Amino acid sequence: MERDRTGEDRNQLAQDRTDLAEDRTILAHERSYAGWLRTGMAAIGIGIGFNALFGTMHPTWAAKGIATAFLLAAAQIFLSAERRARRAFGRLDAHAVSTLKPLRIRILSWALAVLSLALVLAIWLLVEPERESGADTARAQSHLRGEQREELAVARGNAAFAFLDHLEGV
């Protein structure tokens, strides 16, 4: 009889260790899901940053195309993360930890994917104001003198004109 209780205790301890291992696996999958989301957000940041940095180059479709590629990759990353997380959590049972609910995972991933696609539309459909070409700007500013030129330099934030005005005054 003493031996049976020891055997039962050992079985219970083994089951407890297995449950804790399963909980650790669940937490590891949650960290992986969070990593996938961070990667998708980084892709969004790269896409928006690329468009902001190179959006004025010509042809404009090149910068928009590269930014779109990053945004589409982000949407795919979010959807892949959702599929992988739901599949992993479906196989495991939580014992001593609370887990993300499958519905929340789906809503979050799909919302981020849809917002990524909305950014793609915004990049392509929002019209930027017309910019003057460099030659037109130079011609328009060549006739300006003194205070007009200084005001224009300050208004445009053009350090080169402010420097030239400083040199003319010296």
Average pLDDT over residues 66-73: 96
Q: Hey, what amino acid is at 65?
A: G
Higher-confidence residue of 22 and 134: namely 22
pLDDT tens digits, one per residue of 92-146: 777 677 777 889 999 999 999 999 999 999 999 985 645 545 555 555 555 555 5
Instruction: For the chain, give every domain's residue range.
Output: 2-129, 132-170
Q: Is the pLDDT of residue 43 over 90?
A: yes
- The pLDDT score that the predictor gives to residue 26 is 79
Residue 65, token pair as written in the block: 């195309």
- The pLDDT score that the predictor gives to residue 21 is 78
What whole-number distance in Å separates Cα of residue 26 and Cα of residue 169? 71
- The pLDDT score that the predictor gives to residue 1 is 46
Higher-confidence residue of 92 and 40: namely 40
